[in-house]
Amino acid sequence: MSKVKDKIEIIIADDHMMIREGLKQLLELDGTMKVIAEANDGEECLNLLNKKIHPDILLLDINMPKKNGIEVLEYIKQNKIPVKVLILTVHNEVEYLLKAVDIGIDGYLLKDSSYDELKEAIDVIISGNTYIQPSLLPALNESMEDYALDKEKIEWLTKRELDVLRLISKGCSNKKISDELTISERTVKNHISHIFRKIDVEDRTQAAVFAIRNKIS
């Protein structure tokens, strides 16, 4: 029979010792939380989790040596490690947030937030919900709409059109695409015309950017 925890157990993964120590003191002053381990880089963080340490929450920085926070998050989700992850970062760029949401983040908070907001984020996550810093939500919602629209556009492409788009993103000429796919250059031109119309771009550069953005390259 497992022992019921009387405190929320936390691991802090950040390559700045002063930040780890400051967070530890703040969290443990509350009386409801306990920092059970600290990691200086991504690999050390994963080593702790793989040693069967079972925190309730991992406070995870993005910029760390060896493995960054996004790589750590991907590993945790792929290997179904039972820990809730709150990214605590200086990055307010929506690309980082969108990537974290796509992988399956439990929370995302900027380091310039107040302690009260950090505590609120932890409480929300522990209750089984997701916490995203409110100031980041407008940009996230807009990006999610663009992401959903891109996915819809990709679904309109045939397998052959995806092959052509992939080669466009690699800078291949029509002749090279023709040789690679064993089709005529006229057929390549037809495919490209259809691709431009379906993904709503005007030239090869825009098509290549679309492909790279959506990992078709």
CA dihedral for 201, 206, 210, 211, sign (positive or negative): positive
Rounded CA-CA distance 132/41 in Å is: 24
pLDDT tens readout for residues 134-149: 887 777 666 666 666 6
pLDDT tens readout for residues 21-32: 999 998 988 888
Output b/e per residue, 55-72; b: 16+ Cβ within 10 A: bbbbbbbbebeebbbbbb
pLDDT tens readout for residues 26-62: 898 888 899 999 999 999 999 888 887 789 999 999 8
Residue 93 in this model has a pLDDT that exceeds 80: no
Mean pLDDT for all residues in the chain: 86
Beta bridge partners of 11: 37, 58
Q: What is the pTM of this model?
A: 0.65
> Cα torsion at 30, 17, 81, 34 (round to 10°)?
-20
CATH code at 157-213: 1.10.10.10
The CATH superfamily of 8-135 is: Response regulator (3.40.50.2300)
Same fold flag, 8-135 and 157-213: no
Question: Domain residues of the chain, as ranges?
Answer: 8-135, 157-213
209 φ/ψ angles, rounded to the nearest 5 degrees:
-60, -45
